[in-house]
Amino acid sequence: MAPTITAAITNSQDLLSLNHKIRKPLVEKLRRERINSSIEQLKSLLGPDFLKQQPDSKLEKADILEMTVCFLTQLQQQNQQHRKLINHFNKLQSSSDLNLREADFSPLSSTVQTSSTKDKSPASSALWRPW
């Protein structure tokens, strides 16, 4: 009995090995197709401006990948500059809002408000002018 068990194990291992040998090239082919498809998509996304950089030569996969890295780097730099500009604008706006709020509560404006609310005579209801 023992020899038949080892023979069965050997046969199942051979079967697994054979299955692996058949399946491996198919899996590899699918992997290469996915890579090629993605590179073609990148090429179409790069646009004509990037593709004009090398008009006479056929673009290799490495060229497309390098151009994509360059494009994404430029995009990232523009995004960072945009963020800096927005942050600067927000700081200016919050500083401006703070200055407006301080002006509302300054002693001069409160004096004007209290003096105009205390006196209701026609002479005091005229416009206040600092000159």
Please tell me the number of Cα atoms within 13 Å of 109 on its side-chain side: 7
| pLDDT score recorded for residue 116 | 47
64 and 39, same structural domain?
Answer: no
What does pLDDT average to in each consecutive run of 10 residues of the chain (131 residues)?
51 80 92 96 84 72 92 93 89 73 56 49 59 61
63 and 20, same structural domain?
Answer: no
> What are the counts of helices (DSSP H) followed by strands (DSSP E) for the chain?
4, 0
| pLDDT score recorded for residue 48 | 78
| pLDDT score recorded for residue 34 | 97
- What pTM, to 2 d.p., does this model score? 0.53
Residue 121 lies in a domain: no
Distance, CA of 20 to CA of 27 (rounded, Å) = 10
Query: Residue 21 sits in which domain range?
Result: 1-48
2 and 43, same structural domain?
Answer: yes
Residue 128 lies in a domain: no
| pLDDT score recorded for residue 21 | 85
68 and 92, same structural domain?
Answer: yes
Among 66, 73, 64, residue whose Cα is nearest residue 45: 64
Total domains present in the chain = 2
Distance, CA of 46 to CA of 49 (rounded, Å) = 8
